[in-house]
Amino acid sequence: MIVGGGIWGLSTAYHLARAGWTDVQVLERNGTLFDETTSQAAGLVGQIRATPLMRRAIRYAIDLFLDFESETGHDPGFRQVGSLLLAQNPERMVSFEEHVEHANGSGVEASFVDDAEMSTLAPHLDVSQVEGGYFVPEDGYLDPRRCARAFCCAAEDLGVRIRTGTAATGLSIMDGRVMRVETDDGFVEAENVVVTAGPWTGTLAEMAGHRTAMVPIRHQRVTTVPVSGIPDHHPVVRVTDASCYLRPEEGGYLYGFFEPDPTSYDLELPAGFHTADIEEPVQIMEEASERLAPVFPVLRNLEISAYKRGLTTFAPDGAYLIGPVPQVEGLFAATGCAALGIAGSAAVGSWLAGWIARGDPGEDLSSLGLERFGEQASDRGWVRRESEAFYGGYYGIPAMSVT
Given a contact cutoff of 8 angstroms between Cβ atoms, the answer to whether 3 and 27 are in contact is yes
* pLDDT band of 388, cuts 50, 70, 90: very high
pLDDT in tens, 40-96: 999 999 999 989 999 999 999 999 999 999 999 999 999 999 999 999 999 999 999
- Is residue 403 over pLDDT 60? no
Mean pLDDT over each residue of the chain, to the nearest integer: 94
pLDDT in tens, 291-312: 999 999 999 999 999 988 889 9
How far, in Å, CA of 244 to CA of 93, rounded?
Answer: 17
Top pLDDT among 149 and 268 is at 149
* pLDDT band of 271, cuts 50, 70, 90: confident
How far, in Å, CA of 204 to CA of 169, rounded?
Answer: 8
- 403 lies in a domain? no
The pLDDT value given to residue 267: 84
Contacts of 100 (CB under 8 A, 6+ apart): 110, 111, 112, 134
- Is residue 399 over pLDDT 60? no
| H helix or E strand, kind and range, residue 311 | strand 304-314
pLDDT in tens, 9-29: 999 999 999 999 989 999 999
The pLDDT value given to residue 332: 97
* pLDDT band of 263, cuts 50, 70, 90: very high
Domains contained in the chain, number? 1
Given a contact cutoff of 8 angstroms between Cβ atoms, the answer to whether 331 and 344 are in contact is no
How far, in Å, CA of 403 to CA of 401, rounded?
Answer: 6
pTM: 0.95
Given a contact cutoff of 8 angstroms between Cβ atoms, the answer to whether 241 and 131 are in contact is no
- Is residue 400 over pLDDT 60? no
* pLDDT band of 338, cuts 50, 70, 90: very high
The pLDDT value given to residue 22: 86
The pLDDT value given to residue 398: 58
How far, in Å, CA of 380 to CA of 206, rounded?
Answer: 13
The mean pLDDT value for 341-361 works out to 97
Percent of the chain with pLDDT over 90: 90
- Is residue 402 over pLDDT 60? no
- 397 lies in a domain? no
Going from the C-alpha of 208 to that of each of 87, 158, 182, 324, 381, the distances in angstroms are: 46, 30, 12, 12, 22
CATH (domain of 176): 3.50.50.60
- 192 lies in a domain? yes
- 339 lies in a domain? yes
Domain of residue 280 covers: 2-392
- 401 lies in a domain? no
pLDDT in tens, 137-175: 999 999 999 999 999 999 999 999 999 999 999 999 999
Given a contact cutoff of 8 angstroms between Cβ atoms, the answer to whether 271 and 167 are in contact is yes
